[in-house]
Amino acid sequence: MRGFVLPFLLFVITLACSPAVALESIAPRVALYDETTGSLLIAKDQDKPFAPANFTKLVTAAVVFEALKIGEVTDATLYPVSEHAWRTGGAPARTTTMFAAVKSFVPVADLLRGLVVDYANDAAIALAEGLSGSEAAFTERMNAYAARIGLKDSRFANPTGYPDPQAKTTLSDMLALASYMRTTYPDRYALYSQPDFLWNKINQTNKTRFVKELPGVDGMMLAFDETDGLAALLSAGRGDRRVTLAVSGYTSLADRDKDIKALIEGAFSEYGRFEVYPAGAEIGRVKVFGGNAPDVAVISSGGAPVHLTLPTGDRSKFRLAVVYEGPVPAPVRRGTPIARLEVRVDDRLYQSIPLDAASDIDHGEIRDRALDGFAEMFAGWWYRTIGSISIKDFVSLGALRGRHQG
């Protein structure tokens, strides 16, 4: 059964909500995520599959990062550049390459630089063959890795991202991958902001051009597919905020570049971080079944303050509600997750915040439990129906009160 309790806003400083043009994108698929608060600022077809193309190389790199982290290989490990790697991904292939010589031996650290900075296909194949013996075996490892870290709608067909009808991904998965790589391998993530590197007497420039052109951007990769168009996955940090942008489907470089710059700039200039509940604040009350009290207060997980990333202008479309499966059976222990605070824009989930029980609720007396059972038997249908219908009746944030965190 689903229930809800409308939360009470506890603040005294009113934020102005002047009219503002909503941040929009011309991309067919777009997801703009604020890593600091978990707010999904913009979303359009973020779960619609498309060809991963160069994004595949992010998973290739992640598998190698893991192998380095667990000591399976080292930066100094030498991998051979096979004729297959040279012919398929090197100079003869006329694709992005680090120009590694055929039958040479290259340290893993240099192959990674070629892969990350230069999108080098010869590096991708050499790493795959060196680590797993073949592209096919490495691809199996890639897909197992992707599934393990939660990329639920992605499938990869090779380590390079060369076109294959079986390969697919989504923007949601790419956002998850970017966040996972940045937090799990922070020292390796720094490679994505390296402006260039010298190899084989050739200076190779970082092909993620926005690292140099857009303040705060420090990764990750651009991509292109003949059918699905131009795409980008970029992470940017400014001050105490970080946003990650995933976009796909542009038909021209000019459109892509203009849109990406507007989205990244707008994420920082048109949105701010606000505290909407202080630490330990009661956010709502959840119905309890068979307890020594009829309901229990809920607070944010661990009693932390609740922050949202919101437009600095119009917020009239924002709604929130406490949502839970209930009534929650007693006993309930303090700190147990029993609900969530959902923030929505129209019908889209914008942010979901876990809520914990604020106190213990023990079993009630036999009489109390009997009365709860009697009430549930006759009122349960009403409660379920009203609860699920009223999930759309969110409290307006149009006159939100809180403190702007910058």
91 burial type by CB count under 10 A (0-12 exposed, 13-18 middle, 19+ buried): middle
pLDDT for 352 equals 93
pLDDT band at 186 (very low <50, low <70, confident <90, very high): very high
Three-state secondary-structure class, residue 377: helix
CATH fold label, 29-269: Beta-lactamase (3.40.710)
Looking at residues 290-301, what average pLDDT do you find?
93
The token pair that represents 84 in the structure block: 């297959």
Looking at residues 261-282, what average pLDDT do you find?
94
Q: Does residue 208 contact residue 190 with C-beta atoms inside 8 Å?
A: no
CATH number of 2-19+275-404: 2.60.410.10
At which residue do the structure tokens 């063959």 appear?
129
d(CA 104, CA 78) in angstroms, rounded, equals 9
Mean pLDDT over the full length of the chain = 86
pLDDT over 60 at 20, yes or no: no
pLDDT band at 394 (very low <50, low <70, confident <90, very high): very low
pLDDT band at 398 (very low <50, low <70, confident <90, very high): very low
DSSP for residue 93: G
pLDDT for 315 equals 84
DSSP labels for 149-199? TT-TT-B-SSSS----TT-BB-HHHHHHHHHHHHHH-HHHHGGGG--EEEE
Global pTM reads: 0.86
All CATH 3.40.710.10 domain ranges in the chain, comma separated: 29-269
Cis peptide before 220 (omega within 30 of 0): yes
d(CA 353, CA 309) in angstroms, rounded, equals 13
- Tens digit of each residue's pLDDT (9 = 90 or more) over 333-388: 999 999 999 998 888 999 999 999 999 999 876 555 445 444 444 444 333 322 32
DSSP for residue 394: P
pLDDT for 366 equals 59
pLDDT over 50 at 58, yes or no: yes
All CATH 2.60.410.10 domain ranges in the chain, comma separated: 2-19+275-404
